[in-house]
Each structure stands twice: as structure tokens, then as C-alpha cells.
Structure 1
């Protein structure tokens, strides 16, 4: 009986945390002005983030906030070597991202856990953990002190005829309170 009384508060806490919901945002941050004294041009109402745009995401952890930029997307990336190849009928897609810790707490996570590609039929693809010839992976374990940044590729294996539509990224290994969403075309 005593054990069940101790477990009950933990279960209630978990249930309340899980029910708070997740916000999907596709609103890019305002870009800095080109020169001193100039205001950045205002974003059009309802503008959607695209390749090159930055979205600032909050974590469920107090003080953790990252600026996430989709630097580029490559629709058919060559494998790094003959051992890292997509399965038959598939191709590698690579999304290069830049993470910058603009919060007050260290970021310590695996970025691929919170990354997804979505095609034009609303099907979702997870990271493939493969290496490509284009450049370095962002890594499976990234630690960023406040003010630090990291750039690298996330690789996905998708069917060859798939038309990609969006890239999504979430902090906290995919369990964060916000999901950033970028259009890929």
C-alpha cells in the first residue's frame, strides 16, 4: 500500500506533463538588419520558415533555448563509402542544420532523435544514422554550452520517388514543447 502511495504522485506528474501539448511553429525569426540603424524588413503575415531561416525553440528544461537554422537540404546525397548505402529502392536525403545555444543552460542531446522529414503525402521519416560524402554529421551526442553552436548533416533514407515537403525539429529528444517546421520547396 505504501509503495502505491509513493508511485501515485509520480504518475500524476507524468500524466500532467504529457498532457500539456506541443506547439508546432513555422514562423521564422526576424533576420538581423543588413547595417547599423536599419530595421529588418517585417515578415509577411503567416510567412513560413524555409531553407536558410532560423526558428528559436524552447526546451522543457528551464533556461534551455536553441536557435535552429536549416542551412541546406540535399535531395539525393551520396553515401560516404560502400558500407553506408541506402536499402534498395531508397536514397539518402541530407539536411544540414546549425544549432546555437541562446539559453542559459547547456544543451546535451541527440539532435536526430527530434528530427523528421515529411513528404507530400504526409508520411514521416526518421533519421537513418548514416554518413554521406557531403560533409560531417551533426553527431549523435551534442553538448553546447550557452553561446556555442554546432553545424552538421542529418541523414534520412526515403523511397526514391518520394517528394519531400517539410523538415521538423524538436528539442528534448523529440519531446520538447515546441516543434520547428521548415518548408523544403
Structure 2
């Protein structure tokens, strides 16, 4: 019992430390010199990430890093079938992402757990785990060996009048040390 009382505060302290301190970044990775962009002004480097941009995120695991790219955003996505429909007063919105494991250990997580869609009123929405007609979802469980990649949609149920503004993504089911943020305008 004494060991339990001595160890428990340390365990709680570590748990609380792991749950705090997430850094949110909207700075896209720098594009290689020959990527088609000729501008080298400071303003172009300070621009927030948007559709087509990649942000490399770190995990709580030392050797796990993922390049996360927002490929496409759909403000009003069509349900895949009559069984996958949003509740009355809502619509589906979707964000297509590409994940590439650039670390040296396997990524094994549910991407939807670390994904948030934010509207123009700064309200956020969790993944709805639905399928849309525009393409396949990324799936509820993704395993990527180093160098592996996966692409698919994350679907969100949002009020019909909501204007989609931002997408946030973090590793470790949302508890990673970094979260990427993309403008969807």
C-alpha cells in the first residue's frame, strides 16, 4: 500500500503533463526550391497553411512524425447512401487528408480522434464517422509503416448554416504535442 501511495502522485503528474502543452501551428512546411513558387518574400512564409499545404507533426513517441496534407475540403458533401445521412438541420462537410509517415516507427491510430472542423463562429465539430459519395473515408484505424501513406476523407456533421473555416489535426488521438491548423477558405 505504501508503494502505491508513493508511486501514484508520480503517475498522475506524468499523466497531467502529457495532457498539456499542445502547440498549434498553422505554418506549412517549406516547399522545395523548384516547387513552382518563385516568391521568396517573408510574407509568403508567414501565410497560414491552407488547402494543398503540408504540416509535419510530431507524436509523443520520439520516432514518429507524420506529414499531414489537406488535399480538399467539401463544405456540403453528399451522403454515400440512404443509411449515412446527417441529422435534421445538419449537413455533411468533409476534409480529404493525406498522411505520410516520415518517422522511423509505425503510426497506428484513429485519425478521426485527432481531427476537428471549426466554423466561422469558432465552434468546433468532431468527426461523424460517415461515408460520402465523393470518395472513401480514411478509415477508423490506420497503420502506416515508415514511408507509408494513406489518403481519405474525414466527415463532419455541421449545422446547415455553418460556414466552414478551419481544420485542426493532432497525432496520438488528439493528445500529441503539436496540432496543425489549416484555413479552408
TM-score normalised over the length of structure 1 = 0.93
Give the whole-Å Cα distance in 1 for the aligned partners of 2:147 and 2:56: 14
- 1:9 corresponds in structure 2 to 10
CA change 1:40–1:111 in 2 (3 A) is farther
Question: Do the aligned partners of 1:116 and 1:124 also contact (CA within 8 Å) in 2?
Answer: yes
Structure 1 unaligned residues grouped into runs of 5+: none
Residue 46 (structure 1) shift: 1.9
Counterpart mapping for 1:36-75 below 5 A: 41-42=39-40, 44-75=44-75
Question: Do the aligned partners of 1:113 and 1:174 also contact (CA within 8 Å) in 2?
Answer: yes
SS in 1 for 2:27: coil
Question: Do the aligned partners of 1:119 and 1:162 also contact (CA within 8 Å) in 2?
Answer: yes
Residue 103 (structure 1) shift: 0.4
Residue 27 (structure 1) shift: 0.4
CA change 1:10–1:40 in 2 (3 A) is farther
Mean alpha-carbon deviation: is it higher for 38-47 or for 129-138? 38-47
Residue 40 (structure 1) shift: 6.7
- Count of matched residue pairs: 182
Residue 15 (structure 1) shift: 2.6
Structure 2 unaligned residues grouped into runs of 5+: none
Question: Do the aligned partners of 1:32 and 1:40 also contact (CA within 8 Å) in 2?
Answer: no
Residue 31 (structure 1) shift: 1.8
Superposed CA deviations along residues 20-57 of structure 1, whole A, max 9, x for unmatched, are x011100011123437xx99743624210000000000
CA change 1:135–1:39 in 2 (3 A) is closer
Residue 161 (structure 1) shift: 0.7
Question: Do the aligned partners of 2:19 and 2:175 also contact (CA within 8 Å) in 1?
Answer: no
Give the whole-Å Cα distance in 1 for the aligned partners of 2:71 and 2:108: 21
TM-score normalised over the length of structure 2 = 0.93
Give the whole-Å Cα distance in 2 for the aligned partners of 1:55 and 1:45: 13
Q: Please give the root-mean-square deviation of Cα atoms over the aligned residues, in Å.
A: 1.7
- 2:131 corresponds in structure 1 to 131
Matching of residue 184 in structure 1 with residue 181 in structure 2? no
Residue 122 (structure 1) shift: 0.5
- 2:160 corresponds in structure 1 to 160
